[in-house]
Structure 1
Amino acid sequence: MNAQPAPFADVRAQDHALAARLFDDVARLSPDVEGVSRPAFSAIETQTLKYLEDVAKVEGLAVWYDAGCNALFSLPEDRDAERVVVVGSHVDSVPFGGNFDGLAGVVAGLICLIRARREGRRFAKPVHVLAMRGEESAWFGPCYIGSKVLTGTLAKRELEETHKGDGRTLEEHMADIGLPVEDIRAQKPLMDVSRMEAYLELHIEQGPLLIGKNIPAATVSGIRGNIRYRAITCHGEAGHSGAVPKAYRRDPVLAMADLLVRLDESWTTILNKGDDLVLTSGIVATDPEKHAMSRIPDRVSFSLDMRSQKPETLDDMRALLKSEIKEIERDRRVRFDLGEELRVEPALCDKGLVAGLEEAMRKVGQEPFVMPSGGGHDAAVFAGAGVPAAMVFVRNRNGSHNPQEAMEIDDFLAGVDILSAFLAGAE
């Protein structure tokens, strides 16, 4: 005679306690002066994966590592399935970051597996949970490194990007933890994506929409692509702040400011036309060895991140950027060096998966809500590799990439419910 299922309240309390423990334990493994720091391809990232491995084994799950040194989890009977639905996200964080960005998606997948294991049930299709390394661009510059490695799409030049802390290359850091760098350099996929029925990712929302609408979770329609310049440099001419008249100045800081103001004005115009765009310059610096209040700097460097759901808008913004630069160079007698351009194409979520997640929301008593993703995610890389992909967002106060991420465990479990219901009936 089969055991009677535990009352819902008891199951919910178990899930709540487990999720809170996992998040708290990982936060204690990766503290920073403020928030957490789990650098990509670091010992802390490895330690985080090992902790999740230990938890999964205690719960009776199968655990193994792929060629990219990412951790995978499944029900024991699904370990060697020919085709699988992959639920995944990343475990690294930005410096001084929040604890939920990325990690929430991995913990969500684990709880779906643990629920099924404890209740003695199977999913409609075999499920593998993928805990990836290296999604954040903050450490080396390129984004989605782990998923690009798996799909064979990491550019050779990206391997030469250097770590913001120690100056060593991405390739060196990968070699340190045992990744097959020769295969990666040859852009050999480390995963057979033809085995993937779908890729699903739960993630905290990185904006205020769900908070404003008082909705705990949502499905995602698509993911913005981006064009990024890690270090644009504007070269001018140094001078004394009190002795050089305006007409004789070649001030790179004012030239940079001029450019950013022009881009901001164009941003407003694009939004007024109903198109999608966001712009950010998150790093701005003059040379710390030379800068002074009384000195006109000879150069300034800054980053630029342009994102849109439309490739055409990204193309237009690149052309506008170069056009404005030419005009400013002529008017202010400076020179811009854009440096290396990094680009990720926008990705639409699979319509069938989105519809399935909407139906799962109904099954668990949530009103379906679909929204776009402003931030980029590994789901975009898998979608670009031909894998049907979709996402679930969870309400989160204070945005992401900061220590004030404030996802509530009850909201997180609302997102887990959607995933679990979908996996139980996936077609």
Structure 2
Amino acid sequence: MNRPGTDIGALLAQQIFDAVRALSPDGAGVSRPAYSGIETRALDCLSQIARDHGLIVEEDPGGNRWFTLPEHRDAGRYLVIGSHIDSVPEGGNFDGLAGIVAGLLVLIRARGRGLRMPVRCLAMRGEESAWFGSCYLGSRALTGQMTAQELGSRHKGDGRTLAEHMAALGIDTGRILAGQPQTALDRIAGYIELHIEQGPVLVERDIPAAIVTGIRGNIRFRSVTCTGQGGHSGAVPRAYRHDPVLAMADLLTRLDDSWLHILQTGGDLVLTSGMVATDPARHAITRIADSVSFSLDIRSQNAEILTHMRDYLGDEMRDIERVRGVRFETGPEIPAAPALMDAGMVRDLMQAMARTGQEPFSMASGAGHDAAVFAQAGIPSAMVFVRNRNGSHNPREAMEIEDLMAGIRIISAYLEEAGA
């Protein structure tokens, strides 16, 4: 339950969250699909709120929205505060949106008071991988890093490609395919993203906010298929089986053992298989399945560990194929490199945190964020986490408005010194 209190900024933040939620209800949560009409309507809502508070609104060729103080519209260089507007299916309302609200509040509260350096708020499309299989689509298009493979990825619902969805919104996919950034990157002095923490660290430590030091990269396979040989569950002895379900279980067990070893030797790794399925139309309780599909998501802050896990995965698949007489097919790999946040910005944000009366605290991000893409594009980048109960990517996200305001105070204190 949010408790906005009497702060005008907190009241406005709650109003923005409520307005955007009303545009995207789905079950118990919200759904704002990447590159959809719903996503556009949410951006339009934010744009109207920005105009109502005297901000300039612009749209770049990739369909992202930019919000600026009138006096900074033609600034040669500026700092960006931003995040993404899309959500996962039936997700929470704060994931992504909180960072945009933070940027808007920084600008709205600066009206009439000014800022030491020009600041723009950025609302990006398409960060979540839930819709097309690839993540950071909006920021990758914005920075000229999107690939032809990503443009050709298909929507989980309607099967149309990302390029088709973009074209339907009037986005020039030829420009994106050519690797042309959607804005002048050399004008961006730095990027700051406020985001809810998607794990339990801040809740367990009873801390409202933290400064992020780095973001895990990942290796993802949307659908690995293991193919074996079907048969009667009671009539085929073990020695004659080519069971893909047990082969998958064998592989996941080996990966889990490797995960534990890496953690015990001081490494960083998380591993998830979030989707596992046989075909219910062909398989039954009394039948050995002839195929099974599953997803793999392998993450680490260490690029060498990711390379090791990629090689290890291939070796173990080949060994299990030989032993069990099955075949693995991974499909295309969806990679994302780890990203360190800018050391100078992290230091200055930690100092700003102290000036707001909060005990400075830093941590790594287990989840991926658009800030990683900006960092990989050579733009100094940083993140502020705010406390959030019940995890993320679900309707039970429970960020308190007071914690959001604590994060915004850190950014505001940072901006008071930036450009001085």
| Cα pair 1:87 1:128 within 8 Å, conserved | yes
Q: Give yes or no for the alignment of 1:173 onto 2:165.
A: yes
| Cα pair 1:224 1:347 within 8 Å, conserved | yes
How many angstroms apart in 2 are the aligned matches of 1:265 and 1:123? 52
- Corresponding residue SS for 1:307: strand
| Cα pair 1:122 1:424 within 8 Å, conserved | no
Q: Give yes or no for the alignment of 1:116 onto 2:110.
A: yes
- Note the C-alpha offset of 1:155: 1.1
- Note the C-alpha offset of 1:291: 2.3
How many angstroms apart in 1 are the aligned matches of 2:415 and 2:222? 39
How many angstroms apart in 1 are the aligned matches of 2:116 and 2:296? 44
| Cα pair 1:202 1:415 within 8 Å, conserved | yes
RMSD: 1.1
How many angstroms apart in 2 are the aligned matches of 1:420 and 1:219? 14
- Note the C-alpha offset of 1:229: 0.7
Instruction: Report the residue type matching 1:151 in the other structure.
Output: T
- Corresponding residue SS for 1:343: strand
Structure 1 residue corresponding to 2:413, chosen from 396, 421, 424: 421
Structure 1 residue corresponding to 2:371, chosen from 369, 376, 379: 379
- Note the C-alpha offset of 1:27: 1.1
Structure 2 residue corresponding to 1:94, chosen from 85, 88, 93: 88
How many angstroms apart in 1 are the aligned matches of 2:415 and 2:40? 28
Runs of 4+ in 1 over 2 A off after TM superposition: none
TM-score normalized by structure 2? 0.97
| Cα pair 1:83 1:126 within 8 Å, conserved | yes
After TM superposition, list the pairs within 5 Å mapping 1:41-52 onto structure 2. Answer: 41-52=35-46
- Corresponding residue SS for 2:7: helix
| Cα pair 2:57 2:67 within 8 Å, conserved | yes
After TM superposition, list the pairs within 5 Å mapping 1:60-209 onto structure 2. Answer: 60-117=54-111, 120-209=112-201
Q: Give yes or no for the alignment of 1:33 onto 2:39.
A: no
| Cα pair 1:198 1:388 within 8 Å, conserved | yes
Instruction: Tell me which residue corresponds to 1:335.
Output: 327
- Corresponding residue SS for 2:293: strand
- Corresponding residue SS for 1:218: strand
How many angstroms apart in 1 are the aligned matches of 2:5 and 2:30? 30
Seen in structure 2, the aligned counterparts of structure 1 residues 297 and 66 have a Cα distance that, compared at 3 Å, is: same
| Cα pair 2:5 2:11 within 8 Å, conserved | no
- Note the C-alpha offset of 1:288: 3.3
- Note the C-alpha offset of 1:192: 1.5
Q: Give yes or no for the alignment of 1:18 onto 2:36.
A: no
Instruction: Tell me which residue corresponds to 1:404.
Output: 396
- Corresponding residue SS for 2:368: coil
- Once the two structures are superposed, what CA deviation does each residue of 1:218-274 show, in whole Å capped at 9, x if it has no partner? 100000011111111101111111221111111111111110011011100000001
TM-score normalized by structure 1? 0.96
Q: Give yes or no for the alignment of 1:389 onto 2:400.
A: no
Instruction: Report the residue type matching 2:221 in the other structure.
Output: Y
How many angstroms apart in 2 are the aligned matches of 1:415 and 1:12? 17
How many angstroms apart in 2 are the aligned matches of 1:410 and 1:334? 54
Instruction: Report the residue type matching 1:303 in the other structure.
Output: S
How many angstroms apart in 2 are the aligned matches of 1:298 and 1:178? 44
Instruction: Tell me which residue corresponds to 1:246.
Output: 238
- Note the C-alpha offset of 1:105: 0.3
How many angstroms apart in 1 are the aligned matches of 2:5 and 2:230? 67
- Note the C-alpha offset of 1:383: 0.3
Sequence identity (%):
61
- Corresponding residue SS for 2:384: strand
Structure 2 residue corresponding to 1:215, chosen from 207, 214, 232: 207
How many angstroms apart in 2 are the aligned matches of 1:88 and 1:247? 57
- Note the C-alpha offset of 1:368: 0.6
- Corresponding residue SS for 1:94: coil
Segments of 5+ residues of structure 1 without an aligned counterpart are 1-9
Instruction: Report the residue type matching 2:58 in the other structure.
Output: W
Instruction: Tell me which residue corresponds to 1:56.
Output: 50
| Cα pair 1:123 1:425 within 8 Å, conserved | no
Q: Give yes or no for the alignment of 1:310 onto 2:302.
A: yes
After TM superposition, list the pairs within 5 Å mapping 1:205-354 onto structure 2. Answer: 205-354=197-346
| Cα pair 2:278 2:292 within 8 Å, conserved | yes
| Cα pair 2:355 2:413 within 8 Å, conserved | yes
Seen in structure 2, the aligned counterparts of structure 1 residues 196 and 163 have a Cα distance that, compared at 3 Å, is: same
- Corresponding residue SS for 1:404: coil
- Once the two structures are superposed, what CA deviation does each residue of 1:385-424 show, in whole Å capped at 9, x if it has no partner? 0000000000001111111111011111101111111122
| Cα pair 2:64 2:122 within 8 Å, conserved | yes
- Once the two structures are superposed, what CA deviation does each residue of 1:192-237 show, in whole Å capped at 9, x if it has no partner? 2111100000000011110111100010000001111111110111
How many angstroms apart in 1 are the aligned matches of 2:184 and 2:226? 44
- Note the C-alpha offset of 1:69: 0.6
| Cα pair 1:223 1:377 within 8 Å, conserved | yes
Corresponding residue pairs, total: 416
How many angstroms apart in 2 are the aligned matches of 1:301 and 1:181? 32
- Corresponding residue SS for 1:400: coil
How many angstroms apart in 2 are the aligned matches of 1:106 and 1:232? 35
Segments of 5+ residues of structure 2 without an aligned counterpart are none
- Note the C-alpha offset of 1:90: 0.1
- Corresponding residue SS for 1:137: coil
